[in-house]
Structure 1
Amino acid sequence: MRAIRVFFFVILAVVLMLLAAANRQLVTVSLVPEALAPFAGGQWSLTMPAFVALFLAMVFGVLLGLVWEWIRESHLRAESSRRAHDLAQLQREVGDLRRTHAAPRDDVLAILDETRKPAAAPAGTGSTLPAPR
Structure 2
Amino acid sequence: MIGKKIQSIRKQKGLSLSECATRASISKSYLSNIERNINHNPSIQVMEKIAAALGVEVRALLELNHNVVPESEWLEFVNELKKSGVQKEQLKEYKTVIEFAKWQKDKLSGTSEKGKSK
Q: Which has the higher contact order (CA 8 A, sep 6+)?
A: 2
Q: Classify the TM-score, shorter chain.
A: under 0.3
When the two structures are superposed, what TM-score results if normalisation uses the length of structure 2?
0.28
> Which has more radius of gyration?
1
- Normalised by the size of structure 1, how large is the TM-score? 0.25
